Structure 1
Amino acid sequence: METQNLEQGKRKRDVVSVREYYCYKLQMRNDDEDEILHTRRLFQQYSVDEYIKLETQRLDFGSFNQDLFRMSVLQGLLYVLRLGERDASNVGKQTFLPNSFIGGPRDMRQHYMDVIALVQHFGKPDLFITMTCNSSWMEIKEHLSSSDEAQNRPDLISRAFRAKIEELKTDILKRNIFGKVAAFMYTVEFQKRGLPHAHFLIILSNEQKLLTTEAYDDIIRAELPDSNREPNLHKLVLKHMMHGLCGILNPINCCMKKGCCKFKYPQKFVDQTSKGNDLYPIYRRRNTGEVVHVRGKDLYNLGLFIQSIFTWKIQLSHKY
């Protein structure tokens, strides 16, 4: 094997990177009980410390190898001015991170310019999709030991969420569950409780554009499904897609600002979908008179229930 590598002009490595080493250490194995994975908050501290070590190594590489990231004099001056530097004595003393450093100024600016270019070429996005990690996913719960909690296993959370993201991308881009996609973009963020969520912007091809209210209703709902025809979907929406309780039922909820919900719930009942004045659709929320039990309260049809349902995608709620 070594001879073959030499013949192909490939140098065999005898070292591993910091990232590769800790990725290996954090792997779950059936025949190897690694105690560090089950030390709860200590494992969280361990994960943060090792990532800081990895990021410091990347920063040091960028700092000590500035000659590898040369730029023209004009470009360098413009970049310094963009940062707000006005002292000529400081020009030339700046350390610039390459765009390969994830999360750095150049990396973020490059992603921003890419997104702007996509919108300029293909038009405004048609769908906005948010996927939030659920610590009760079976893929997470079945890999937790009796002493583990999901919040103390960021490695497991991240692996399960990434697998879900890749499956969602396959559904949208290859299986075309919303139609042919012309362009897409997404970002992954982390909540204060440690669970990640992703925001997708989908630009559909011209022949798949949502041009009628019926097209919106075929993909997006903002009301409860029929409990007789779709009992499982009905339970999922009640469990995961309800906002609140807020308003007069819970005036101290975190979403309440100056006596009103900052997310504008509850919203008005409407019999059919229409386009709003701000170009956002006003989704159909019909008054059905249904009574449901949500978070310990019986909600009657008093303008407090159906109006508080998040918009949800029919095809995705079943699967994810």
Structure 2
Amino acid sequence: MGRGLFQQFSEDAYIKIETTRLVFVEKNQTKIRADLYQGVVDYFNVGEAQPSRVGQRVVLLASFIGGPCDMQRRFLDAMTLVQDDGRPDIFLTMTCNPKWTEIDDELLPRQSAQDRPDLVARVFHAKLEDLKVQLFQRHIIGVLGSYVYVIEFQKRGLPHAHFLLIMTPRYKMNNPDDYDKLVCAKIPDPIRFPEMHDLIKSHMMHSLW
């Protein structure tokens, strides 16, 4: 019921928690072997000779989500998959729809999906897990060799997931005909596929006005 005010409070509380974690890392650099990072030495090696411009380097642990070490580790993991299984074949995006019945039916009068990030996140997570079952267990688009995905949140609070899918050799897509069997950029026939036609027009087309 707090709407935007409660969301602001939650963000402020999280910032305080994260700040505390950062202060702990800064005060415990010797425990994480920060002396192994030759930041200051490298700084002088590139020609910087003003001591006043040399600061103390703080190294974030790889366990700090979103930090440079964490992002580098994730990037290297993804590149290892590409080296082992080949280039990605499919870039798939799943976007949260604020008009999903599971969300719309639970909103109170005068509430919008943006007022209930808890509800939106739970419903999106449930549908994302179902999508993963369809892709990885039921193989609705073929057998996958490996995959990576990331979840992002739009400014209005709606989450979406981006997948990079690497197919096994039998299901690799090597020419336009292979992609045409899976991807369609046409509006479905309203007579043959009325439900699909309505869904596409409702959720995947934008008005010019």
- When normalised by structure 1's length, the TM-score is 0.58
How big is the shift at 1:93? 2.9
Contact 2:149/2:162 (8 A) holds in 1:
yes
Deviations 1:221-262 (A, max 9, x none): 0001122221111111111222553xxxx6xxxxxxxxxxxx
Deviations 1:110-169 (A, max 9, x none): 111222222222211111111111111112122222242211222222222222222222
Q: Cα distance 1:204–1:240, how it changes in 2: closer, same or farther (>3 A)?
A: same
Q: Which residue of 2 aligns with 1:181?
A: 144
Alpha-carbon distance in 1 for matches of 2:65, 2:47: 24
Q: Cα distance 1:100–1:91, how it changes in 2: closer, same or farther (>3 A)?
A: farther
Q: 1:100 aligns with which of 63, 66, 84?
A: 63
> Are 2:141 and 1:141 aligned?
no
> Are 2:199 and 1:221 aligned?
no
Contact 1:44/1:153 (8 A) holds in 2:
no
> Are 2:126 and 1:163 aligned?
yes
Q: Cα distance 1:85–1:48, how it changes in 2: closer, same or farther (>3 A)?
A: farther
Q: Cα distance 1:166–1:121, how it changes in 2: closer, same or farther (>3 A)?
A: same
Q: Cα distance 1:86–1:137, how it changes in 2: closer, same or farther (>3 A)?
A: farther
Alpha-carbon distance in 2 for matches of 1:240, 1:79: 53
Alpha-carbon distance in 1 for matches of 2:105, 2:42: 54
> Are 2:22 and 1:59 aligned?
yes
Q: Which residue of 2 aligns with 1:77?
A: 38
Alpha-carbon distance in 1 for matches of 2:14, 2:120: 16
Q: Which residue of 1 aligns with 2:79?
A: 116
Aligned-partner SS, 2:78: helix
How big is the shift at 1:67? 3.1
Q: Which residue of 2 aligns with 1:151?
A: 114
Q: Cα distance 1:80–1:169, how it changes in 2: closer, same or farther (>3 A)?
A: farther
Alpha-carbon distance in 2 for matches of 1:101, 1:80: 25
Aligned-partner SS, 1:221: coil
Deviations 1:94-124 (A, max 9, x none): 1111011111111111111222222222211
How big is the shift at 1:81? 4.1
What letter corresponds to residue 159 of structure 2 in structure 1? P
What letter corresponds to residue 149 of structure 2 in structure 1? Y
Q: How many residue pairs get matched?
A: 206
Aligned-partner SS, 1:219: coil
Residues 40-51 of structure 1 aligned to structure 2 (within 5 Å): 40-51=3-14
- When normalised by structure 2's length, the TM-score is 0.86
Alpha-carbon distance in 1 for matches of 2:206, 2:107: 29
Aligned-partner SS, 1:239: helix
- Which is further off, 222-231 or 209-218? 209-218
Q: Which residue of 2 aligns with 1:203?
A: 166
More helix by share: 2
> Are 2:156 and 1:193 aligned?
yes
Contact 2:40/2:54 (8 A) holds in 1:
no
Residue ranges of structure 1 left out of the alignment (5+ in a row)? 1-37, 251-320
- Which is further off, 103-112 or 114-123? 114-123
Aligned-partner SS, 2:38: helix
Aligned residues: percent identity? 45
Which structure has the bigger radius of gyration? 1
Q: Which residue of 1 aligns with 2:31?
A: 68
Contact 1:225/1:234 (8 A) holds in 2:
yes
Alpha-carbon distance in 2 for matches of 1:105, 1:131: 27
Alpha-carbon distance in 1 for matches of 2:77, 2:186: 36
Tell which has more relative contact order, 1 or 2 (C-alpha 8 A, sep 6+): 2
Alpha-carbon distance in 2 for matches of 1:78, 1:116: 26
Q: 1:230 aligns with which of 190, 193, 196?
A: 193
Q: Cα distance 1:101–1:120, how it changes in 2: closer, same or farther (>3 A)?
A: same
